[in-house]
């Protein structure tokens, strides 16, 4: 069988590019006063107004209002951002350097369920030790809150496909089994990774 030529690599953010730990963020929101924080936060798919934020149905200001009402206090953008940022435990430099090496041969895309609080950091020079923004590592980024849909729904993948990448020439790398299943149904080659693990050899074998 002739090997398919891979032209595009599509990466998830949390659990693939950066390491995450849900419980740290749950505890941070508990400290703000959100008593049922555990019910809202998930490593792959949020609930309630947390999901509405990642779906782009509410903006950062409205999120702070709703959070403040449940916490019984005024919650600023920076306070909410700090609680969201507790999700992020590490940005391994070796992964960023690997992305840079891949960019010589492939088009790189990011497809992520995320929100304006985390992206306020990731799209700033504070993201990497080299002062590079997340955007600088990818040809294009597809972010749930901007596209108003989240993985594993097919809608967000269709936004990606409409931008040019042919699923038959693309590898989708994600740590969420449900997201991988949707990608496979749409014809993508896939790699299921594990949060905190070095996936470079696995991807190298596919390429």
Q: Where are the domains of the chain?
A: 8-20+89-206, 22-85
**φ and ψ at 110, to 5 degrees?**
-115, 135
Point out the catalytic residue in the list 12, 23, 59, 104. 12
Is the pLDDT reported for residue 45 higher than 90?
no
pLDDT at 156: 97
% of the chain at pLDDT higher than 70: 98
Q: Could you confirm whether domain 8-20+89-206 is CATH 2.40.10.10?
A: no
Common-topology check for domains 8-20+89-206 and 22-85: no
Peptide bond into 180 cis (omega under 30): no
Is the pLDDT reported for residue 1 higher than 60?
no
Beta strands in 46-92 (DSSP E): 88-90
CATH of segment(s) 22-85: 1.10.150.240
Average pLDDT score over residue span 135-151: 97
Contact assessment for residue 86 and residue 24, using Cβ atoms and an 8 Å cutoff: yes
Residue 173, H or E segment: strand 170-174
Per residue in 67-112, pLDDT (tens digit) is: 999 999 999 999 999 999 999 999 999 999 999 999 999 999 999 9
The residue whose two tokens read 């740290």 is: 24
Question: What is the rounded average pLDDT for all residues in the chain?
Answer: 95
Is there a catalytic annotation at residue 104? no
């Amino acid at each position: 069988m002739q090997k398919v030529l891979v032209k595009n690599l599509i990466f998830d953010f949390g659990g693939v590019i950066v390491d995450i730990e849900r419980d740290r963020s749950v505890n941070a929101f508990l400290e703000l006063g959100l008593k049922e924080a555990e019910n809202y936060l998930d490593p792959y798919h949020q609930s309630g107004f947390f999901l509405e934020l990642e779906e782009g149905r509410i903006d950062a200001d409205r999120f702070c209002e709703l959070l403040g009402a449940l916490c019984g206090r005024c919650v600023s953008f920076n306070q909410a951002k700090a609680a969201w940022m507790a999700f992020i435990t590490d940005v391994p430099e070796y992964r960023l350097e690997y992305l840079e090496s891949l960019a010589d041969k492939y088009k790189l895309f990011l497809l992520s369920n995320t929100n304006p609080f985390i992206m306020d950091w990731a799209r700033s020079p504070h993201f990497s030790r080299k002062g590079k923004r997340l955007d600088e590592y990818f040809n294009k980024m597809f972010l749930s809150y901007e596209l108003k849909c989240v993985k594993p729904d097919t809608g967000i993948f269709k936004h990606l496909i409409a931008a040019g990448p042919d699923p038959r020439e693309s590898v989708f790398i994600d740590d969420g089994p449900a997201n991988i299943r949707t990608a496979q149904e749409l014809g993508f080659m896939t790699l299921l990774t594990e949060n905190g693990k070095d996936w470079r050899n696995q991807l190298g074998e596919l390429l």
